[in-house]
Chain A
């Protein structure tokens, strides 16, 4: 409210608005946010561009040679720069496998959060705008689900769908099953926030006006209420992305996530875990480090966004 009136008169045009924004100002003054953004950006570029940037193609079985298997990473003896992070038991380049794996982890993370946003925002809007019985029913469900840890929900949903689908179909659909399971485990967070702000917006004059001119409830919700309540989704979504990537890695590590034919970071860590006792630590530790860097940088960015955009959000 007051921020809009204070806004400087210079801010005309998109670029100028971005340059003068409070957000960019606070970003420049937060070294942790800058470092996290750089790390996240490097990881996203390296994994999104894996097919073009990776030194080898780990999916191409013809290029693998058992003679290259279990080569240690660079500073150690017997290593060379063609496999800077070493190779696994089949001679696969660990660096390339990580780049392709991080790509799958990010895809699952983004799509799962996207799914959770759509479900959560729809439920939150409906509950807040319609109110009454619908509201108490939907929010009761959200409350019950919130008492269960998200990872447990995702595991059980994954298991139930796995049981319901026949075997062959299940393997080919596993990626989508995982996205659905993780998305379902994350929606209550979005729904509760959206419901809270919808309850406030519902009684404002502009909503009354929209209803008076005869717009349908769906239209009022989507074109009038939604733009005014969508703000916090960016913050919750960023933090949820970190959780989604972690959930995917955990499920894949447990062996109920992605199969070794589509290895994500979690699958790579699980495969590498078998070689821990014979001393080949690099097959599991490098994917682990990348996973931690990815989740940590996303979480720190989320924390910063929360503080910068809305200090009232906790």
Chain B
């Protein structure tokens, strides 16, 4: 187990080095940071001084090593657009994005699994059929259109929920902010959370349904019925448990999708998170922010893949046995 974790972490290191190299190459070769930082009027001496100060006169690989070292210490340079350290810009916006992503995933999982179980068990009932049709729409509706529609209905027409921003936030510790502490903050989370979570929810629901249909046909379910176990025990204790392996994979892999589509959702709702920061940075070619975002996202993806692998291990005992026999045979 420990060896497995260590080998996975070791595999992640080259990936991070390559992504860091890309981020650095972006910074070094795209655009001209010196002229951007100096502005219009400067002397050649000032220019040389800045080049020396930034270390741009040193060999490429030394610069790359320095960049990676600085990145390890959380220093990603200074944003061209806002003239602030990138690390503090991102740290400021990270809680907003994490809170949104968390709300969306929890919503998707808590709604998706029960709905999937229901549509799997009562697959011919009218409600289940209706849910399947609705889910087809949910899968094919672009995220930004869904956001616009929700704003149109719940903010413009009904006036129930706010259409932009996070509402009032409370500071916890030095840099974490949360909207969960006030009713207005929670209300501001509803529309963006639903927008971001609906796609995952329909995906989880359809997957759980398909897996349930598969499992309910197997012999051990028939046997459990013959033993006279209650429907509840059979459906949740026996059937649902065995559908969870692919569901966990999809939830894990979809976390990446949640991060990607968070930037669309954040733009629609003007949510002050990392995604909005990235979109604004791309529009004006703010390279340091883009590079830092790239590295952060790569780190998140590596972490997600590791966690999904570990969860497999926890959920499916067969993997453990396979592994033991595999190593024993060697």
A binding-site residues for B, Cβ under 8 Å: 144, 147-149, 151-152, 155-156, 158-160, 162-164, 246, 249-250, 253-256, 269, 273, 276-277, 279, 281, 284-285, 288, 291-292, 295-296, 299
Would B144 and A151 count as touching, CB distance under 8 A?
A: no
As a 0/1 sequence over residues 120 to 162 of chain B, the CB contacts with chain A under 8 angstroms (1 = contact) are 0000000000000000000011111100110110001000000
Minimum CB–CB distance from A61 to chain B (whole Å) comes to 25
Given A163, A256, A279, A299, which contacts B279 in the complex, CB threshold below 8 Å? A256
Minimum CB–CB distance from A163 to chain B (whole Å) comes to 3
Considering the complex, which residues of chain B in the window 266-296 have a beta carbon less than 8 Å from any beta carbon of chain A? 267-268, 278-279, 281-283, 285, 287, 290, 294
What are 21 inter-chain pairs, A to B, with CB distance below 8 A? Answer: A144-B15, A144-B18, A149-B256, A149-B260, A151-B261, A152-B263, A156-B282, A156-B294, A163-B26, A163-B30, A163-B287, A164-B31, A249-B144, A254-B279, A255-B283, A276-B148, A281-B156, A288-B142, A291-B142, A292-B142, A299-B140
Would A163 and B285 count as touching, CB distance under 8 A?
A: yes
Would B142 and A279 count as touching, CB distance under 8 A?
A: no
- Bound state CA distance, A287 and B285, in angstroms? 29
- Bound state CA distance, A253 and B144, in angstroms? 8
Would B256 and A147 count as touching, CB distance under 8 A?
A: yes
Q: Smallest CB-CB separation from A167: which chain B residue? A: B285
- Bound state CA distance, A173 and B156, in angstroms? 38
For A255, list chain B residues within 8 Å (CB).
267, 279, 283
Would A159 and B264 count as touching, CB distance under 8 A?
A: no
Would B290 and A269 count as touching, CB distance under 8 A?
A: no
**Residue B257 lies at the interface, judged by CB distance under 8 Å to chain A:** yes
Minimum CB–CB distance from B209 to chain A (whole Å) comes to 17
For B140, list chain A residues within 8 Å (CB).
292, 295-296, 299
Would B151 and A269 count as touching, CB distance under 8 A?
A: no
Q: Smallest CB-CB separation from B139: which chain A residue? A: A299
Would B142 and A249 count as touching, CB distance under 8 A?
A: yes
Minimum CB–CB distance from A299 to chain B (whole Å) comes to 6
9 more contacts with CB within 8 A, not counting A250-B264, A255-B279, A269-B148, are: A160-B30, A162-B285, A253-B144, A256-B283, A273-B268, A276-B151, A277-B156, A288-B145, A299-B140
**Residue B301 lies at the interface, judged by CB distance under 8 Å to chain A:** yes
Considering the complex, which residues of chain B in the window 12-41 have a beta carbon less than 8 Å from any beta carbon of chain A? 15, 18, 26, 30-31
Chain B: how many interface residues by the 8 Å CB criterion? 38
Minimum CB–CB distance from A152 to chain B (whole Å) comes to 5
Would A276 and B263 count as touching, CB distance under 8 A?
A: no
Given A152, A163, A250, A299, which contacts B297 in the complex, CB threshold below 8 Å? A152
For B268, list chain A residues within 8 Å (CB).
273
Would B267 and A164 count as touching, CB distance under 8 A?
A: no
- Bound state CA distance, A299 and B137, in angstroms? 12
Minimum CB–CB distance from A166 to chain B (whole Å) comes to 10
Minimum CB–CB distance from B152 to chain A (whole Å) comes to 6
For B305, list chain A residues within 8 Å (CB).
147
- Bound state CA distance, A296 and B285, in angstroms? 33
Would B142 and A246 count as touching, CB distance under 8 A?
A: yes
Q: Smallest CB-CB separation from A279: which chain B residue? A: B156
Would A254 and B260 count as touching, CB distance under 8 A?
A: no
Given A158, A246, A273, which contacts B148 in the complex, CB threshold below 8 Å? A273
Would B144 and A250 count as touching, CB distance under 8 A?
A: yes
For B156, list chain A residues within 8 Å (CB).
276-277, 279, 281
